[in-house]
Amino acid sequence: MTYTIGEIDKIAAQLLSQFGNQPIWAFYAPMGAGKTTLIARICKQMGITDAVSSPTFSIMNEYDAQGKMVYHMDWYRLADEAEARRTGVEAAMEEAAICFIEWPEKAPALLPADHIHIQIEILDPEHRRIIITS
């Protein structure tokens, strides 16, 4: 799937429609590719009215999606899997209806086998490509 920022709401709705029953979504992309922006639009599609922002410093943000718990995690600042465990990410992944994870490559062993792998590629300043595997 290729999209521009103007099409991001459509892409968010498509992703939610296709993968909304999957609890763990792992986003792989370089800095500035739009991971947080896409996650915020997916959250909006889920009915989350809170401002969705990057949890880079807090590691984890929690949102209520019409009675369903949603976690948005950013593992960028984590040193390794041991630190990730100490922050409580495993428990959060188990209790969340959906968990969106940025920078999952920092603690790959913590991801369940059935997670959704979402790769975002920067094609040019306006265009992105998403490659999804599960």
How many Å apart are CA 126 and CA 78, to the nearest integer? 30
Stated pTM of the model:
0.93
Q: Is the pLDDT of residue 53 over 90?
A: no
Average pLDDT over residues 94-105: 95
- Nearest 5 degrees, angle CA 128-CA 111-CA 61? 70
Burial 68-82 (b: 16+ CB within 10 A, else e): eebbbbbbbebeebe
* Domains of the chain, CATH where assigned: 2-129 (3.40.50.300)
pLDDT tens digits, one per residue of 4-49? 989 999 999 999 999 999 999 999 999 999 999 999 999 999 999 8
pLDDT band, residue 112 (cuts 50/70/90) = very high
pLDDT value at position 54? 82
Q: What is the DSSP letter of 113?
A: T
